[in-house]
Amino acid sequence: MTNSTQAQAREVLKNFIGEFGMLTPQETQLILDNSTLKLFKKGEFLLKEGQVSQHCYFVLEGTIREYHLQEGEEKTTAFYTEYDPVNAFSSALEQSPAQQNLIAAEDTWVTVGSQSIELAMCQQIPRLEHIIRKEVEKNTGKLQREFAQFIASSPAQRYQNLLVQKPELFQRVPQHQIASYLGITPESLSRLRKRLLEKEEK
């Protein structure tokens, strides 16, 4: 759970923007001045299934969980943590009802964006369009690789991959949600963790 203030969240955003190394201090400040930061409290929805997505988000601190309902049961499909973009692309592009829910798994600071905000910023900072496109391409490639790896993996491999990719997640969300994401029961996850731990101790 985050105890960060808006000023601290804005500093995280400033540091992230600074990593690009292509923007002047004035351009960086312009982006900061036009960025909307919002704190979603734990359990608060960013998007509900059936709603039409109007915004995109970028996690500065915290965790967002994505899930859909299957026969009344929550099926977790993704976790988004620091520096992860969060979007419902199909819903936003087609202006159609979202097929997923996005909910704060803990108190979470995000930036709130939209296509109109992005266009306005790119008009003021033309090279920002190139930076955004590169980031989108990078994140799309990353998601494709991770999805392909996930589909081809066993639950044990998925668990170990998650340990590498997001080790902090295991202290931040309930185990039954992680089990749902891995496609196994909480009991199976418990046995899996015990088996791997015993293997490491040998």
Condensed to tens digits (0 to 9), the pLDDT of residues 13-53 reads 999 998 887 888 999 999 999 899 999 999 999 999 999 99
Least confident piece of the model among 56-65, 97-106, 153-162: 153-162
Q: How many CA atoms does the CB half-sphere of 33 hold within 13 Å?
A: 9
Q: How many CA atoms does the CB half-sphere of 92 hold within 13 Å?
A: 14
Q: Look up the pTM and report it.
A: 0.89
Burial class (CB in 10 A: 0-12, 13-18, 19+), 59: buried
Query: Which pair of tokens denotes residue 16?
Result: 């992230």
**What is the pLDDT, as a whole number, of residue 18?**
87
DSSP string for 41-71: PTT-EEE-TTSBP--EEEEEES-EEEEEEET
Q: Which of 160, 149, 152 is nearest to 196 (CA)?
A: 160
Task: Name residue 39's beta-bridge partners.
Answer: 109
Condensed to tens digits (0 to 9), the pLDDT of residues 116-137 reads 888 899 999 998 888 888 888 8
* Most confident stretch, 5-9, 19-23, 141-145: 5-9
Q: Is the pLDDT of residue 102 over 70?
A: yes
Q: What are the structural domains, with CATH classification, of the chain? A: 6-126 (2.60.120.10)
